[in-house]
């Protein structure tokens, strides 16, 4: 049976508050230290809870980590799909331009970065760490969790860029996710930007992601390289790392 019995006196409202405290503490500690280096004892100490409460609400550290991501990712992915759906509706059957598709991918991240109540910049940095984490369960979780949204965006890009072979599109989305993951991870990228332009507001996640958008679009729309290989389709294309547009 999952976890130990949680005190009945905690009540429904108390249980919800405890669960929220655990999620908040786990989000902050996972962001700062990563999954492996963060212990459940550190999380419970920061949350003012006990291990029984973690076991009761989540079951394991892996499930807790997934719950931390899911709490923020579900609304962000829903927002992405809603933006893309509206763009497709407005296009009335015509392909949505690639720059608008890129915007629909990035804008929800900008909205989240500006909203501390939804995790803000700290959650984006946690998400960046998760993309780069080698733990198989994290990659499996993100891959499955993003599947439906990814399929929608991949098809939208394919319609916007009809002359780009599907295999090449998969490669470019793979590279895009590498750039986006590095940017979301935050620390090293922000240090580099500050060194290049000390007077720039390198700590502003909105400005950082807005600078990234034209770079991503440029990569998507660049001329095809002369690679002595058949265009192919999705077969044999690289796996696209899990992330906002995988």
The answer to whether residues 45 and 71 belong to one domain is no
The answer to whether residues 221 and 101 touch, using CB atoms and an 8 Å cutoff, is no
Q: How far is CA 235 from CA 37, 169, 173, in A?
A: 37, 12, 15
Verify that 38 and 121 share a domain, yes or no.
no
Distance CA 27, CA 43 (A): 9
Tell me: do 119 and 144 sit in the same domain.
yes
Range of the domain at 223: 62-246
Structural domain total, the chain = 2
Considering the domain architecture, whether residues 42 and 8 belong to the same structural domain is answered as yes
- Do 53 and 164 lie in a common domain? no
Please report the pLDDT score of residue 11 as a whole number: 59
| Shared-domain flag, residues 45 and 147 | no
Please tell me whether residues 104 and 24 are part of one structural domain: no
Query: Does one domain contain both 108 and 2?
Result: no
CATH code for the domain of 96: 1.10.357.10
Using the 3D structure, point to which of 59, 74, 104 is the last residue of a domain.
59
Residues 2, 103, single domain; the answer is no
Q: Judge whether 209 and 142 are in contact, CB under 8 Å.
A: no
Each of the 246 residues of the chain gets a pLDDT tens digit; together they read 444 444 444 456 688 899 999 999 999 999 999 999 999 999 999 999 999 999 999 999 999 999 999 999 999 999 999 999 999 999 999 999 999 999 898 888 878 877 888 888 788 888 888 877 778 999 899 888 888 888 899 999 999 999 999 999 988 988 887 777 777 666 554 455 455 444 554 445 567 667 788 999 999 999 988 766 544 444 444 444 444 333
Q: Does 179 lie in the same domain as 74?
A: yes
Shared domain for 124 and 69, answered yes or no, is yes
Nearest to 87 by CA among 30, 34, 156: 156
Residues 73 and 97 in one domain: yes
Cα–Cα distance measured from residue 16 to residue 132, given in angstroms and rounded to the nearest whole number: 31
């Amino acid at each position: 049976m999952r976890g130990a019995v949680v005190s009945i006196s905690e009540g429904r409202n108390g249980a919800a508050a405890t669960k929220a405290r655990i999620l908040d503490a786990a989000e902050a500690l996972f962001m700062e230290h990563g999954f492996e280096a963060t212990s459940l004892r550190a999380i419970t100490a920061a949350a003012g809870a006990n291990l029984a409460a973690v076991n009761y609400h989540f079951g394991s550290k892996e499930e807790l980590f997934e719950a931390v991501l899911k709490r923020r990712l579900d609304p962000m992915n829903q927002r992405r799909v809603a933006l893309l759906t509206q763009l497709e509706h407005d296009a009335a059957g015509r392909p949505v331009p690639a720059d608008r598709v890129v915007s629909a991918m990035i804008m929800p991240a900008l909205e989240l970065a500006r909203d501390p109540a939804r995790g803000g910049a700290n959650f984006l940095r946690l998400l960046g760490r998760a993309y780069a984490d080698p733990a198989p369960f994290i990659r499996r979780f993100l891959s499955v969790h993003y599947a439906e949204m990814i399929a929608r965006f991949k098809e939208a890009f394919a319609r916007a860029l009809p002359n780009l072979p599907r295999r090449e599109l998969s490669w470019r989305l793979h590279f895009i996710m590498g750039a986006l993951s590095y940017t979301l991870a935050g620390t090293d990228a922000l240090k580099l930007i500050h060194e290049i332009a000390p007077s720039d507001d390198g700590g502003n996640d909105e400005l950082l992601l807005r600078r990234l958008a034209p770079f991503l679009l440029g990569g998507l729309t660049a001329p095809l390289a002369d690679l002595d290989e058949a265009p192919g389709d999705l077969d044999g294309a690289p796996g696209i790392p899990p992330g906002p547009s995988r």
